[in-house]
């Protein structure tokens, strides 16, 4: 095999070296191109997402906010909280259903029967030929508005008084029933609730004692309001000179005419001091203690009798409630009416005198004709008031008790 010459070998080596150098140059050029492309790509990416550091901060804050409140369906938490609030409100009303039912029923019954109460007060304190004469005279001199003079005071006072009265009565009734059961072994409420039962000495005495307690407590609240109501009802009659016992009392009596509830209260304080708001308090206390005791005694006993006769063991028969409510008003007024007349006359007389002046006392005279003026109106009004009141009261109390929760 022939050997290559030295010149040929050198030439061959030179070509190989030149090829290797070209390859190295191409490799370096390719690397440089890749690095440039990566830099351009990074720069382009930075320009797309965060060309400004401040925008990068804002973008980060927005992303955090989005992570905190991710988009999706609305949260039901507020609905649940609203439902809880409604449930708590219903539970509160259900707990105090006696007070709520008494308040609403008082407003309804007072508005519907106030004209009869106004006529009753006028007939007690002034002379009229009868019911129709009083109605005619009132309408001719004061128009329709005259029948509703002073309605604001009883709207506030009767609602407050009845609410407190029924609350006290309900609580004292169960307290006295527990006391009788502990000391004498007789279950009053169990007896009343049993089917076919009749009132007995324990039930009548317990309900009467609870009613007397409620009546004596509410007098402190009711007296100023009733005095204000009476003043508004007879203010026009008091202002007539022929109805004033003394000439100097006319100016005081006339100052009560055509005034609202608050101005009448202020006028009473002006002429008789703060103590003047409790003018006739002892007569008022006697009337409310005896009257409220009779009132609840008659209502509970007559409702029990009517339920037994009707064969309904639920003690919430609507007809029994209606009749018992009307009956308790009639019986209580028939018993205490002379006391109420003496109170009204004494309060009327006191409004004509200033503080420190002597007002002659008014005697309570039972079976005297002049002490029973307006009794028929009072009994009719009371029958209507209490029939409406107890029907509404028992209905609302039953409906509230049936609420869920």
Q: For the whole model, what pTM was predicted?
A: 0.67
Own/partner pairs for 303-310, CB < 8 Å, 24+ apart? Answer: 304/192, 304/197, 304/198, 304/199, 304/203, 305/198, 305/199, 308/195, 308/196, 308/197, 308/198
Question: Tell me: the pLDDT tens digits for 347-390?
Answer: 888 888 788 777 888 888 888 888 888 888 888 888 888 888 88
What is the C-alpha separation between 355 and 359, in angstroms, rounded? 10
What is the C-alpha separation between 251 and 138, in angstroms, rounded? 22
Cβ count within 10 A of residue 289: 21
Q: How many CA atoms lie within 13 A of 332 on its CB side?
A: 30
Percent of the chain with pLDDT over 70: 73
Confidence of residue 295 (pLDDT cuts 50, 70, 90): very high
In the predicted structure, residue 396 carries a pLDDT above the cut 90: no
3-state SS, residue 182: helix
For the chain, the domains span: 97-400
In the predicted model, what is the mean pLDDT of residues 9-19?
A: 53
Question: Tell me: the pLDDT tens digits for 104-115?
Answer: 888 888 888 888
Confidence of residue 181 (pLDDT cuts 50, 70, 90): very high
pLDDT given at position 169: 93
Q: Between 97-125 and 318-350, two packed helices, what is the crossing angle to 10 degrees?
A: 50
Question: Tell me: the pLDDT tens digits for 223-261?
Answer: 888 888 888 777 777 767 666 667 666 677 777 776 767
What is the C-alpha separation between 243 and 227, in angstroms, rounded? 19
Q: How far is CA 5 from the centre of its chain?
A: 127
Question: Tell me: the pLDDT tens digits for 145-160?
Answer: 888 877 776 777 778 8
In the predicted structure, residue 217 carries a pLDDT above the cut 60: yes
- Mean pLDDT for the chain overall: 78
User: Cβ neighbours of residue 289 under 8 Å, at least 6 residues apart?
Assistant: 212, 215, 216, 219
What is the C-alpha separation between 273 and 255, in angstroms, rounded? 15
CATH of 97-400 given 1.50.40.10, 3.90.1170.20, 3.90.1150.10, 1.10.3720.10: 1.50.40.10
Q: What tokens were used for 244?
A: 């004033």
């Amino acid at each position: 095999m022939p050997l290559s010459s030295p010149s040929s070998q050198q030439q061959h080596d030179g070509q190989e070296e030149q090829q290797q150098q070209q390859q190295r140059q191409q490799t370096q050029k390719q690397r440089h191109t890749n690095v440039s492309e990566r830099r351009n790509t990074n720069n382009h990416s930075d320009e797309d997402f965060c060309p400004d550091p401040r925008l990068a901060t804002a973008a980060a804050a927005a992303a955090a906010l989005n992570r905190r409140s991710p988009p999706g369906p609305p949260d039901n938490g507020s609905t649940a909280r609203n439902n809880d609030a409604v449930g708590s409100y219903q539970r509160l009303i259900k707990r105090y259903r006696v007070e709520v039912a008494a308040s609403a029923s008082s407003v309804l019954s007072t508005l519907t029967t106030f004209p009869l109460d106004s006529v009753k007060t006028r007939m007690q304190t002034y002379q009229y030929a009868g019911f129709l004469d009083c109605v005619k005279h009132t309408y001719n001199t004061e128009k329709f508005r005259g029948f509703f003079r002073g309605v604001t005071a009883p709207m506030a006072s009767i609602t407050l008084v009845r609410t407190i009265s029924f609350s006290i009565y309900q609580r004292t009734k169960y307290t006295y029933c527990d006391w009788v059961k502990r000391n004498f072994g007789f279950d009053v409420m169990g007896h009343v609730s049993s089917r076919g039962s009749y009132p007995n000495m324990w039930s009548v005495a317990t309900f009467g004692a609870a009613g007397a307690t409620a009546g004596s407590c509410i007098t402190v609240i009711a007296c100023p309001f009733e005095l204000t109501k009476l003043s508004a009802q007879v203010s026009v009659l008091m202002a007539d000179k022929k109805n004033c016992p003394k000439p100097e009392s006319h100016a005081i009596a006339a100052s009560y005419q055509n005034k609202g509830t608050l101005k009448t209260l202020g006028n009473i304080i002006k002429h008789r001091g703060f103590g003047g708001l409790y003018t006739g308090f002892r007569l008022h206390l006697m009337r409310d203690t005896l009257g409220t005791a009779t009132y609840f005694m008659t209502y509970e006993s007559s409702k029990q009798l009517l339920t037994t006769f009707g064969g309904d063991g639920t003690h919430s028969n609507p007809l029994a409630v209606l009749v018992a409510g009307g009956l308790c008003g009639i019986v209580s007024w028939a018993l205490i009416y002379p006391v109420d007349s003496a109170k009204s006359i004494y309060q009327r007389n006191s409004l004509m005198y200033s503080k420190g002046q002597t007002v002659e006392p008014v005697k309570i005279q039972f079976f005297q004709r002049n002490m029973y003026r307006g009794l028929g109106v009072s009994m009719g009004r009371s029958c209507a008031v209490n029939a409406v009141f107890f029907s509404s009261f028992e209905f609302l109390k039953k409906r509230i008790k049936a609420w869920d929760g």
